[in-house]
């Protein structure tokens, strides 16, 4: 019996090569998940406050909103829905030609009729409560932003030239109608959000995924993550290392994004 136990023990003992293969398997699976399923995204501005705060590091799930693939029918693909918080490429490129990633909330899907009155969104003729969205104050009132699209876009300095031209083409009466394959995005912090009111609809193919949760939140200055200079990026990294404990928002760890 003792001899049999020794034989079984030898059979169960993992060889160095098997151990190395197991580690490689774990690394490959982790790399696959981080490359194709999840992506890190850092919130650079207050446009989505208080849903998302400047310095929130979020885990973005990339597969559910991806176009369905016949070779992988088991993944839970679905269409983009109103109310989804999504990460997407800005449809209007920057001066250097780059399309920067942004995070906003889907307010309108294809076919929806949208207008705002005093900062309240009217969707297909019905006023939306939107408890997550900040309401405008008398001091911050902007007729183009809060009564969109009643004021011509040419009257606002922050509206892109392309949107000024194409916006009237999507108007029906007082409403803006979302065309097929396009989405209307707005930030929850409406007074401080550069969104579809300024640069138009987001094509379906520009949508990258949904932020699932905040895995780390660090007190940061607004737009810190958009600084291009390498020296400033290195300074930011050093600052995070030095102040990791006293400036981390521990209460936002694993905070679910909704």
Please give the backbone phi and psi of residue 166, each rounded to the nearest 5 degrees, phi first.
Answer: -85, -20
Q: Is the predicted pLDDT of residue 25 greater than 60, yes or no?
A: no
Q: Is the predicted pLDDT of residue 76 greater than 80, yes or no?
A: no
Q: Is the predicted pLDDT of residue 247 greater than 90, yes or no?
A: yes
Instruction: Supply the pLDDT for residue 180.
Output: 97
To the nearest whole number, what is the mean pLDDT of the chain? 84
**Domains of the chain listed by start with CATH number:** 38-256 (2.10.109.10)
Give me the half-sphere count of Cα atoms (radius 13 Å) on the Cβ side of residue 95: 0
Instruction: Supply the pLDDT for residue 33.
Output: 43
Report pLDDT digits (tens) over 53-73: 999 999 999 888 876 555 555
Confidence band, pLDDT 50/70/90 cuts, at residue 5 = low
pTM of the model: 0.82
> Under 8 Å CB-to-CB from 29, ≥6 apart: which residues?
none
Interatomic CA distance for residues 175 and 14, integer angstroms: 68
Report pLDDT digits (tens) over 78-108: 899 999 999 999 998 887 778 899 999 999 9
Instruction: Supply the pLDDT for residue 38.
Output: 76
Confirm if 52 and 211 have CB atoms less than 8 A apart: yes
Confidence band, pLDDT 50/70/90 cuts, at residue 27 = very low
Higher pLDDT, 24 or 89: 89
Helix (H) or strand (E) holding 196: helix 196-199
Higher pLDDT, 95 or 239: 239
Least confident span in 3-17, 155-169, 235-249: 3-17
Average confidence (pLDDT) over 131-143: 87
Q: Is the predicted pLDDT of residue 143 greater than 50, yes or no?
A: yes
Q: Please report the DSSP string for 73-121 in residue order.
A: TTS------TT-EEEEE-SS--TTS---EEEEEEEE-TT-EEEEETTEE
Q: Is the predicted pLDDT of residue 21 greater than 60, yes or no?
A: no
Helix (H) or strand (E) holding 244: helix 244-247
Mean pLDDT: which of 25-29, 124-128, 220-224 is highest?
124-128
Confidence band, pLDDT 50/70/90 cuts, at residue 37 = low
**Alpha carbon of 179 to those of 12, 33, 198: distances in Å?**
62, 33, 17
Instruction: Supply the pLDDT for residue 22.
Output: 55
Interatomic CA distance for residues 160 and 152, integer angstroms: 12
Least confident span in 68-72, 127-131, 173-177: 68-72
Interatomic CA distance for residues 161 and 258, integer angstroms: 33
């Amino acid at each position: 019996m003792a001899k049999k136990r020794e034989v079984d023990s030898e059979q169960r003992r993992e060889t160095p090569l098997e151990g190395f293969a197991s580690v490689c398997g774990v690394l490959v699976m982790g790399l696959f998940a981080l490359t194709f399923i999840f992506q890190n995204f850092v919130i650079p501005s207050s446009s989505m406050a208080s849903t998302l705060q400047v310095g929130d590091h979020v885990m973005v799930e990339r597969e559910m909103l991806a176009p369905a693939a016949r070779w992988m029918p088991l993944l839970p693909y679905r269409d983009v829905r109103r109310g989804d918080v999504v990460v997407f490429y800005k449809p209007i490129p920057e001066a250097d030609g780059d399309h920067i990633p942004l995070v906003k909330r889907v307010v309108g899907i294809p076919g929806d009729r949208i207008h705002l009155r005093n900062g309240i969104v009217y969707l297909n003729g019905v006023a939306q409560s939107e408890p997550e969205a900040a309401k405008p104050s008398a001091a911050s009132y902007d007729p183009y932003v809060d009564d969109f699209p009643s004021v011509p876009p040419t009257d606002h300095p922050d509206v892109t030239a392309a949107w000024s031209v194409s916006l009237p083409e999507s108007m029906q009466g007082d409403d803006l109608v979302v065309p097929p394959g396009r989405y209307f995005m707005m930030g929850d912090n409406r007074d401080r959000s550069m969104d579809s009111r300024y640069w138009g609809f987001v094509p379906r193919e520009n949508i990258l995924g949904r932020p699932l949760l905040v895995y780390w939140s660090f007190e940061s200055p607004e737009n810190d993550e958009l600084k291009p200079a390498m020296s400033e990026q290195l300074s930011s990294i050093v600052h995070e290392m030095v102040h990791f404990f006293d400036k981390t928002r521990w209460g936002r760890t694993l905070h679910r994004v909704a």
